[in-house]
Amino acid sequence: MKIKKEHVTSLLEAIEYIVDIKMIIRQITPHYEINDLMKDKYISSLQKLHNRLNPIFSRYLPEEPLKGEKFLEKSRQRILNALAKDDRFLLSSNSAKKVLKDLGADPRNIIVSGGPFFLEDYQKVNPNIPDHALAGIQKKCERLKEELSEETWSDKDLYFIYEQNDIADQLTLEKIDRISKLIGRDVKTIDIKSWDELVE
């Protein structure tokens, strides 16, 4: 088995975030009380750690047999909790948008990439994609980046909801930190097995 270069990079960066968390814990020992400034750094480090490791876990670790209805309910509840706030949602397909709308999402808060977020990943999904199609996709990707960068993110979060076995979603997930840099805050992620399962 050969480990992907991106996964090696993610693992090495994850170690750095674990060290950051360890330093925070050392500072708050023995009472483990955390102030607001340190809380933000702690949560940010946890989110970055999650974003680095989750694609690797999804690829290499078998699913736990206890998952299923409990996992589905947990995913649905996380989505419903996020919907209760005025946050934004990044999805890769219009069919996913329909499911999210059925769950109560304001369609104005839903951003659909229509495939991977980044242009270079389209050829990984379809190596035979013609050049003229890539030109149109490039414009779409640029508009998507502009839409996110022009949004005010100081008072809201961006959630990327992805299917565990969807190639386009996994490619975007591997580069989620690039989207975090684009909006100036950590992108939150919610993993689901299938959008169809979320429809009751």
pLDDT of residue 90: 97
pLDDT of residue 200: 60
Of 111, 105, 129, whose CA–CA distance to 172 is shortest?
A: 111
> What length does the chain have?
200
The secondary structure of 87-150 as a DSSP string is -EEEES-HHHHHHHHHTT--GGGEEE-SS-SSGGGHHHH-TT--HHHHHHHHHHHHHHHHHHHH
Res. 69: pLDDT tops 80: no
* The one-letter amino acid at 137: I
pLDDT of residue 83: 87
Q: Average pLDDT of 65-90?
A: 80
Res. 148: pLDDT tops 80: yes
pLDDT of residue 67: 53
- For 41, the 3-state DSSP assignment is helix
Q: What is the pLDDT of residues 5-59, one digit of tens each?
A: 888 898 999 999 999 999 999 999 888 898 988 888 899 999 889 888 888 887 7
pLDDT of residue 172: 95
Res. 193: pLDDT tops 90: no
Residue ranges per structural domain of the chain: 1-61, 67-200
Check: CB of residue 165 under 8 Å from CB of residue 191.
no
Q: What is the pLDDT of residues 82-126, one digit of tens each?
A: 888 889 999 999 999 999 998 889 999 999 999 999 999 998 888
Res. 65: pLDDT tops 50: no
